[in-house]
Every structure is written in structure tokens, then in C-alpha cells.
Chain A
Amino acid sequence: KAGVTQTPRYLIKTRGQQVTLSCSPISGHRSVSWYQQTPGQGLQFLFEYFSETQRNKGNFPGRFSGRQFSNSRSEMNVSTLELGDSALYLCASSLGGVGANVLTFGAGSRLTVL
């Protein structure tokens, strides 16, 4: 069974640019969550999508957005990049229903903003 696939794995951008990250969940998983991981801050929740609808949103500025497609694949976009956006962005999928407690994470997309 394939795991959660995130692309690209590494990318370098400059301030002011935008970036789009992609996540393919485990087959059958309908929920996709995104997290930002930075040293000392742990995993900060960005948003969660279930059946193409954003169900939850973390405390991030509007420059961070996402969407989910009908095949459950998800993308997140960060516009007008800032140096502080440098981080590992993790995607996690789950079944998403009541009692669905297990998050399966991808390996992440490491973004460096110069």
C-alpha cells in the first residue's frame, strides 16, 4: 500500500515568490491535513480538508491557502513568501470519519526562502 507522497521534496524560493506543494494521500483516505514544522515550534497546524471542503484552519495568515481535489489529492499554496516561511511542510492523511485517529504523514517538502 503506497504511503503519503509529497512533492517536491526540496525547493528554494526567494522572498516575494509563491510556491505550491502537492500531497497524494493513502488510497481511500479522504482527509488531508497540512502542518508546518520548524525547530522549537513543533508541528503547527495549517488546515485540514475532507471531501474537498476545508474543515479546520489553523492560525496562519491568508497567504497560506489550500485545496483538495475530488481524488483527495491536496495542494497548498504560499504567496508572497517571507524568510520566516522556511520550514518543513508536512502533509498527513487519514480516513477522516468519526473515530479516525491515525494520521499518516508524508516525508515533507522542505522549503527554503532566500
Chain B
Amino acid sequence: KNQVEQSPQSLIILEGKNCTLQCNYTVSPFSNLRWYKQDTGRGPVSLTIMTFSENTKSNGRYTATLDADTKQSSLHITASQLSDSASYICVVSAKQSNAGKSTFGDGTTLTVKP
């Protein structure tokens, strides 16, 4: 069964600090992995998409890594801001599947405090 596990479930950090969110998956055969940011009461917004051959991808202060051998991904946030407070969702797609069959993690809720 395809699964995506995210950790930690929630995280509180001080403004300006860095943090790393984890995503472990068992989706096979792997096609791509996406990280989304979901602000409270809003729809998810894509941060990065990574395919099998990509190890690292950055989007501003967000850097995602992918280890396809260990089936792990991380999202690193640098110099956190109050606006980074949100839920971060890891989504993994299998080959020959569609977006609907993508497997969603339950998200990590990040709170950035002043």
C-alpha cells in the first residue's frame, strides 16, 4: 500500500531560525514528489516538484532534497518568517498514475513565533 509519512506532526520555532521537515514514502514505482504549503483557510500552493533524477531543488528560502534510494525527502526552511506559519504537505505520485492517485501526507504544521 502506498503511504506517505511526515514528521514532525507539528513544530514551533522562533522567527529567523531554520527548520527541516521530513517525508518518508513507500510509493512505487516512483514518479515525482511535491511539497505544498497550505495557509490556514486557503488552498495548497506548490513549492517544489522533484523527479527521480533530482536530488535538490530550491525555491527562495525553501530547499527540498530527495533520496530515492531511501525513499526520503526533506524540506528545509532558512531564516524563517512569521508568514511561514502554515501546514506543509508532501505528495508523492506513482508512475502511470494521475494527480488524483497521488498519495498525500497528513502535513507538518509549522508555527513561527516572534
The judgment on whether A and B are partners is: no
Chain B contact residues, CB within 8 Å of chain A: none
